[in-house]
Amino acid sequence: AQSVSQHNHHVILSEAASLELGCNYSYGGTVNLFWYVQYPGQHLQLLLKYFSGDPLVKGIKGFEAEFIKSKFSFNLRKPSVQWSDTAEYFCAVRGTGFQKLVFGTGTRLLVSP
């Protein structure tokens, strides 16, 4: 069965700092990978996804993620964060051809102005 680890539970940054959130997954086959964001009091929204092709994926709001197959990782990055990026970020994995989407425990990001 697939699983996801997000090692950073809480991250605090100042505006304009660079962001990298770690995500490692465990699964023996090919995968689809996702990052979702949950702004305070809101529902989960898709930031970006990787299915195949270019391992560097660009999403909304300046976010990107890189799939490194050899490391089973899909880290999320943003060169310069804004106060409005304060949210909880979830990495998720799904075995290709399967439906069950498994989430990590999330990383709470606080960006101070």
Partner 1 sequence: DAGVIQSPRHEVTEMGQEVTLRCKPISGHNSLFWYRQTMMRGLELLIYFNNNVPIDDSGMPEDRFSAKMPNASFSTLKIQPSEPRDSAVYFCASTLLSGANVLTFGAGSRLTVL
Amino acid at the residue 33: L
Q: How far apart are CA 100 and CA 7, in angstroms?
A: 22
CB 113 within 8 A of CB 15: yes
Which of 8, 44, 62, 73 contacts partner 1 by CB under 8 A?
44
3-state secondary structure of 75: strand
Closer Cβ to partner 1, 28 or 43, answer by number: 43
Residue that the structure tokens 């539970």 belong to: 9
Amino acid at the residue 103: F
Q: How far is the CB of 106 from partner 1 (least distance, A)?
A: 6
Q: How far apart are CA 103 and CA 50, in angstroms?
A: 15
Which of 25, 27, 34, 63 contacts partner 1 by CB under 8 A?
34
Report the site for partner 1 in 48-107 (rule: CB under 8 A). 49, 51, 90, 94, 99-106
11 is a site residue for partner 1 (CB under 8 A): no
Q: Which residues bind partner 1 (CB under 8 A)?
A: 32, 34, 36, 42-46, 49, 51, 90, 94, 99-106
